Structures are given as structure tokens and as C-alpha cells.
Structure 1
């Protein structure tokens, strides 16, 4: 039995099925969309920390290391100040690479000093959020796009350079080679304004 999905996704599924028959078949095959709906007052600092920790490692490894990081604080909150105050050796002991420690310290410093105010992000357009957050060392466009999709619940995000998206499009659209990001954007044009949902189905389609 398919897991239930949030009613917020019903209009997007109807629109995607109508606009793209290939994607429509994939939606029917995968079933319910279990993307998280927008959460009230999300902790964007912790979401960014988790995104940095999870770069270029498996989801299982990322979960383990992030939990070790939280354990460093013995029940206290993970905040820009507490992260800044944590010795590098302790962060490295949680399994965080030296480079990622530098990224996390940069994030903490920018937030502590008021150079980055995440409370303003929810009211901003997607591209403005990307422009703002990519000023943090180690935070690239893809990382912010994941934050937009999974923390802020933005429905029209297209990580055109994502390898999984490109592999799925090659497979389901019967292409001879991996599409370049520009080709992904062209194929995805009919999916607007629900490209996040379409991308989720492409990822899931590779798993089943």
C-alpha cells in the first residue's frame, strides 16, 4: 500500500500528469509524494549545518555524523555561538572533515556577527536565497536547492546539475547520454511551477 501524501501535492500531481505523459507514468508507478510539506518556523541554521555535513557522503553517514555533532552539546542547543565555541578537535572527533569544519565555522561566524540573518530567508524568492546563502564558504547552489526543497517546502526548484536527476531523465526519457543541465532545463519546462515534485519522482524512480 502506498504511503499517504500531504494534500498540498494534489494540484501538482494533476498538473504534472497532464503536462508530461512520461512523468505521469512515473508518478503512477511510484505512488504518493512524500516530500515534507513546509514546516512552520523551521530551524534554518541547523538545516544548513546538516546540509554542509551531508555533502558528498551517503545519507546514512550524514545522519550518523550529524547526530554525533548534536551529542557534542549534551542536550544544549546547537546555535551559531555554541558551534563557534566548539574546538575544531571536538568537531573532527564527530567525524567532520577539516574542510567542513572550516565551512561550519564560517557559517557560525557570519550568523553570530549578523552578516547572515536566516530569519529573513522565508520571505525571499528562491534565487535571492541562493544568492544569499552561497556567500557562506562551502555552500553552493545545489546545497541551497536542497534546503529550498526539503526545509522551506518550495515547489518549483530544479537542481539541473544533480547527477541523480540527469540519470533519471536519461533512463525514463530514453536518451542515449546523460543530458547536460541546459537540456534538463528544457525537458523540465512543462513541469513548472512544480519542478520540485517532479524531481522527487525522478529520484524515487531510480530507487524502485
Structure 2
């Protein structure tokens, strides 16, 4: 069974990371511990992550909430009853409509079993999910981290993570992902929790910048 983290171990893992990386110690000192972001292991959660691909979190949540209003309970069977027009009314793009349908069909025909994923290795889950159209490594990374609490994922396909490492470490913009991956090796076997610290740092810096911005006249 792959290593996981829990609410009981989360802060102690943050402290462990702070002990080996002074930049993380500074993040915790300045902004406190990061939230332990988590989501339930459901079809709705995976649709939500698909909606978050390459758009703002706010617009993804808006589409998800619109879909919830329409179907009440977001299940594979209910999604497959909707027409293209109904998906559009819920702010789903043509591509994300198709991806949600592929996922629904895969769950209904037994190709994907979310409950079984809880006992499977990360690479097996990645292989099964990436076989579905519209699901790539970023989507799988978020699922493994937020849903299954797998401890050692560093999602370098996530722009916020990439920018947070560069800013925190004072690295030039042109620093490669390979170089960032090498930096991340020191955080093993808790790269997921390191990522939570990086997101926390990124969001806190962003919030501080917004506060400093002068009000529109």
C-alpha cells in the first residue's frame, strides 16, 4: 500500500519538511500551516477536477454547481442522460462534455472502479485513468493528492506549483521542470505535503498582492 498522510500526521509532516528545508519553515512561520485540502472519492470529484483543467478554480466550481442544480446528484447514469445543449447550459465546453461522458461510461462498464483505487498503487491508478480521453497526469496527480491522500506526488504540470518553487527559491523564470524535480527530491517521501505548503505560500502571496493593489478610482 503506498504511503499516505492523514489529518493526524499532517502537521508533523509539515514540521519534518520545515526541518530539512528552511524555506518551508519560513512559510509556516509567516502564514501558518496549509489547509489539508481533501475531496471525497466520487465520480463528482473527478468531474470537478476535469472542469478545473486549464481554467480558474472559480469558473470550474461555477460549472459544477450549475450541473448539481440540474441533476441534483451527480452520477454517471444521470450525466449520460443529458443532451449537448444541457451540458452547455451548465457551462461545460464541448471537450469537457465529452471527457465527462467518457468517464461516466468507463465507471458504468466497470473499466474504472474508484473504490478499488483506494488499495492500488499510484502507477496502476495513473495507467487506468490516463487511458481515458481527457485525463492526463495533472488530473491524476490532483486525484491522488486530494482524494487518496497519497504522500509523494509533486505535480509539476501545475503552474502554481512551478511558480511557487521558483519564487520561494529565488530561481530564474527559465528554470526547467527537470531542475525543479531535482529540487523536489529532497522532500521525498512527502512531496504531496510539500506541494500543499507551496500552494499555501502561492495563495497567501497572491492574497497579499491583491490587498496592496490600490482601489479603482
What TM-score do the two structures reach when normalised by structure 2? 0.85
- Per-residue deviation, residues 109-137 of structure 1 (Å, max 9, x unmatched): 11111111222111112222111111111
Segments of structure 2 that go 5 or more residues without pairing to the other structure are: 1-5, 206-217
After the TM superposition, which segments of 4 or more aligned residues of structure 1 sit over 3 Å from their partners?
Answer: none
Match of 2:215 in 1: none
Match of 2:62 in 1: 64
Segments of structure 1 that go 5 or more residues without pairing to the other structure are: none
Counterpart-to-counterpart distance in 2, 1:94 and 1:9: 36
- In the alignment, is the contact (CA less than 8 A) between 1:158 and 1:196 conserved in 2? yes
- Which of 162, 167, 170 matches 1:166? 162
Pair 72,117 (structure 1): closer, same or farther in 2 beyond 3 Å: same
Match of 1:7 in 2: 8
Counterpart-to-counterpart distance in 2, 1:179 and 1:23: 20
Deviation at 1:43, TM superposition (A): 3.4
Aligned length: 199
What TM-score do the two structures reach when normalised by structure 1? 0.88
- Which of 88, 92, 97 matches 2:93? 97
Counterpart-to-counterpart distance in 2, 1:43 and 1:14: 28
Deviation at 1:6, TM superposition (A): 3.9
Match of 2:212 in 1: none
RMSD of aligned C-alpha atoms? 1.8
Pair 79,199 (structure 1): closer, same or farther in 2 beyond 3 Å: same
Deviation at 1:184, TM superposition (A): 1.5
Counterpart-to-counterpart distance in 1, 2:89 and 2:166: 40
Pair 23,100 (structure 1): closer, same or farther in 2 beyond 3 Å: same
Counterpart-to-counterpart distance in 2, 1:6 and 1:109: 33
Deviation at 1:177, TM superposition (A): 2.6
Counterpart-to-counterpart distance in 2, 1:163 and 1:121: 27
- Which of 151, 154, 157 matches 1:155? 151
Match of 1:32 in 2: 33
- In the alignment, is the contact (CA less than 8 A) between 2:41 and 2:148 conserved in 1? no
- In the alignment, is the contact (CA less than 8 A) between 1:157 and 1:195 conserved in 2? yes
Match of 1:44 in 2: 42
